[in-house]
């Protein structure tokens, strides 16, 4: 979509009924009690207004589980209270604070634009197009989906999807469909799309079950969040979706804080989209990392693949709406420590004058049960700023799952494109 057309479309949109300026979200705004679990979620606004969201959370008077802990101080001989990092406003106590702000869509687009990255702006415009309901359903399955979902033609992609298949898959197709000849590639693509549709159907049905009968976060991750992420990256070469719930921040990269804060290194996130490059670049990354003094890792964690596979999108999942604020805090800690780590190796300038030396932003995703929200984090020098959210879909229906899948593919494509280019400059 033409970026100028997108900008013009956004400019014509009326502002929210209750305008609000960009501001730091306070932890108290986001705490509350769990929603009624047997009510299926309705499609939320693209930018949910913080006050209306708070009102929803405060509708119940059940007690909150958040609070502070007390520890004994040997130095003072008395008990003092420490502050667990469970709210976004706790991140303001970091030496380099993390602020969560909620700009309107046109302001967020302008924020992305002023980074000077054409690829970043194209990513935003493509995500916005999908949010508006354009071109995210596979055109090849229009004969099935148009009637099943009762949707208009605008929701279908204008062109066929480029399917990524291995030589082994193509050889197998020749044996399975010998009469097709040169058409076996097309048949293989249709089979892949149909398999994807059935996976989406299963994810949507399972989501409905889990909404009506609550499950643990681990079960949601295993049956819903993990599968939708793997499905999204399956057609993007050299990008993977990794469960990193056991990854901790290395001691060398634990954030410094002002005042009394709990140890931050134990705050983990659930998933990341990783760059998994082909052998030549993988060897360059390994040589680059092995040249460091300990800890030898590209990211801020020494857990498994995180040593050599750069993380391009960070993802935190929750299954209790009361813990949404905690999820924001965990994402804030993780992204700030990641920025702190990569700040130690500045990339070389690009030969292309239109290519930014540094990353324009780092995308982060916050998932609460079936709903997914996208934020963009920026390094402002004196602080980190996390802007959003964009409501990019949910897994509660087939249509919304496809919408979510398309946005996740766009993010994976950004990892394979602009993010990869930045990594290449780092290890040059």
Nearest C-alpha neighbor of 405 from the set 48, 161, 45, 44: 161
Percent of the chain past pLDDT 70, that is, above it, reads 74
Mean pLDDT of 306-310: 98
CB 301 within 8 A of CB 341: no
User: Tens digits of per-residue pLDDT, 364-392?
Assistant: 999 999 999 999 999 999 999 999 999 99
Higher confidence at residue 66 or residue 145?
145
Q: Rounded to whole angstroms, how far apart are CA atoms 325 and 400?
A: 24
DSSP tag of 141: G
Q: Is the pLDDT of residue 216 over 50?
A: yes
What is the structure's pLDDT at 266?
57
Higher confidence at residue 317 or residue 347?
317
Higher confidence at residue 357 or residue 225?
225
User: Tens digits of per-residue pLDDT, 344-369?
Assistant: 886 677 667 666 678 999 999 999 99
CB 376 within 8 A of CB 121: no
Q: Rounded to whole angstroms, how far apart are CA atoms 219 and 54?
A: 27
Higher confidence at residue 226 or residue 27?
226
Strands (E), 288-328: 311-318
User: Which residue(s) pair with 326 in the sheet?
Assistant: none
Greatest mean pLDDT range, 21-35, 135-149, 176-190: 135-149
Q: Rounded to whole angstroms, how far apart are CA atoms 383 and 416?
A: 27
In-domain check, residue 128 = yes
CB 155 within 8 A of CB 139: no
What domain count does the chain have? 1
What is the structure's pLDDT at 84?
56
Runs of H (alpha helix) within 248-343: 279-290, 324-342
In-domain check, residue 262 = yes
User: Tens digits of per-residue pLDDT, 191-210?
Assistant: 899 999 999 999 999 999 99
Higher confidence at residue 22 or residue 264?
264
Q: Is the pLDDT of residue 268 over 90?
A: no
CB 265 within 8 A of CB 293: no
User: Tens digits of per-residue pLDDT, 156-189?
Assistant: 999 999 888 777 877 777 777 776 665 667 888 8
What is the structure's pLDDT at 182?
58
What is the structure's pLDDT at 13?
53
In-domain check, residue 186 = no
Nearest C-alpha neighbor of 42 from the set 52, 51, 27: 52
Spatial neighbors of 176 by CB under 8 A, at least 6 apart, are 184
The domain in which residue 95 lies consists of 46-57+83-138+216-426
Residue the block writes with tokens 């046109």: 106
Could you give the angle at the alpha carbon of 211 between the alpha carbons of 209 and 213, nearest 5°?
Answer: 65
Q: Is the pLDDT of residue 74 over 60?
A: no
pTM beyond 0.95: no
Chain centroid to Cα 12, Å, comes to 28
Q: Is the pLDDT of residue 61 over 50?
A: no
What does the longest C-alpha to C-alpha distance in the chain come to? 84
End-to-end Cα, the chain, rounded Å: 33
In-domain check, residue 371 = yes
Q: Which pLDDT band, with edges at 50, 70 and 90, does 26 fall under?
A: very low
Mean pLDDT of 301-324: 96
Q: Which pLDDT band, with edges at 50, 70 and 90, does 87 fall under?
A: confident
Half-sphere exposure of 427 (CA within 13 A, CB side): 23
In-domain check, residue 153 = no
In-domain check, residue 19 = no
Mean pLDDT of 5-17: 50
Distances (CA, A) of 28 to 43, 260, 362, 395: 24, 19, 26, 28
Q: Rounded to whole angstroms, how far apart are CA atoms 367 and 35?
A: 15
Nearest C-alpha neighbor of 151 from the set 161, 166, 141, 164: 141
**In which region does residue 340 sit, left (phi positive, over 0), alpha (psi from -120 to 50) or beta (all else)?**
alpha
Instruction: Give the helix, strand, coil percentages of the chain, each rounded to 5.
Output: 45, 15, 40
Q: Is the dihedral of CA 194, 200, 204, 207 positive or negative?
A: positive
Q: Which pLDDT band, with edges at 50, 70 and 90, does 267 fall under?
A: low
CB 109 within 8 A of CB 7: yes
What is the structure's pLDDT at 174?
76
In-domain check, residue 210 = no
Q: Is the pLDDT of residue 42 over 70?
A: no
CB 88 within 8 A of CB 371: no
DSSP character string of 15-74: PPSS-----PPPHHHH---PPPTTSPPPPPPSS--HHHHHHHHTT--PPP----EEEEET
What is the structure's pLDDT at 135?
98
CB 264 within 8 A of CB 314: no
Spatial neighbors of 48 by CB under 8 A, at least 6 apart, are 389, 391
Higher confidence at residue 348 or residue 293?
293
CB 89 within 8 A of CB 8: no
Residue the block writes with tokens 């916005």: 128
Find the range with the poorest average confidence among 98-107, 255-264, 399-408, 409-418.
Answer: 255-264
In-domain check, residue 393 = yes
Q: Is the pLDDT of residue 62 over 50?
A: no
């Amino acid at each position: 979509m033409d970026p100028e057309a997108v900008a013009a479309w956004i400019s014509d949109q009326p502002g929210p009924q209750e305008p609000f300026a960009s501001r730091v979200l306070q932890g108290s705004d986001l705490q509350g009690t769990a929603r009624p679990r047997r009510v299926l979620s309705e499609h939320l606004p693209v930018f949910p207004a913080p006050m209306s969201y708070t009102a929803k959370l405060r509708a119940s008077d059940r007690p909150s589980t958040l609070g502070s802990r007390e520890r004994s101080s040997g130095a003072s001989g008395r008990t003092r209270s420490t502050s667990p990092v469970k709210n976004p406003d706790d991140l303001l106590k970091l030496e380099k604070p993390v602020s969560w702000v909620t700009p309107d869509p046109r302001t967020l687009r302008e924020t992305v634009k002023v980074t000077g990255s054409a690829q970043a702006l194209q990513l935003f415009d493509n995500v916005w197009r999908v949010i508006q309901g354009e071109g995210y359903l596979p055109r090849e399955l229009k004969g099935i989906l148009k009637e099943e979902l009762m949707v208009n033609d605008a929701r279908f992609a204008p062109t066929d999807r480029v399917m990524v298949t291995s030589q082994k898959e193509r050889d197998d197709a020749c044996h399975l469909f010998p009469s097709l000849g040169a058409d076996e590639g097309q048949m293989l693509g249709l089979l892949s799309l149909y398999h994807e549709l059935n996976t989406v159907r299963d994810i949507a049905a399972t989501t409905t079950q889990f909404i009506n009968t609550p499950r643990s976060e681990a079960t949601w991750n295993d049956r819903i969040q993990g599968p939708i992420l793997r499905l999204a990256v399956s057609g993007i070469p050299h990008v993977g979706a990794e469960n990193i719930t056991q990854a901790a921040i290395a001691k060398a990269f634990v954030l410094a804080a002002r005042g009394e804060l709990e140890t931050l290194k134990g705050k983990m996130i659930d998933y990341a989209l990783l760059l998994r490059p082909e052998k030549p670049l993988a060897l360059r990354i390994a040589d680059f990392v092995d040249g460091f003094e300990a800890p030898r890792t590209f990211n801020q964690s020494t857990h498994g693949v995180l040593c050599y596979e750069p993380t391009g999108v960070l993802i935190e999942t929750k299954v209790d709406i009361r813990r949404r604020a905690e999820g924001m805090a965990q994402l804030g800690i993780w992204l700030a420590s990641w920025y702190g780590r990569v700040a130690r190796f500045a990339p070389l300038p690009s030969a292309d004058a239109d290519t930014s030396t540094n990353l324009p932003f780092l995308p982060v995703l916050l998932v609460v049960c079936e709903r997914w929200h996208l934020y963009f984090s920026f390094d402002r020098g004196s602080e980190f700023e996390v802007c959003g959210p964009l409501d990019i879909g949910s897994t509660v229906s087939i249509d919304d799952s496809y919408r979510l899948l398309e946005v996740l593919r766009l993010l994976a494509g950004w990892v394979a494109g602009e993010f990869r280019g930045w990594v290449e400059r780092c290890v040059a």
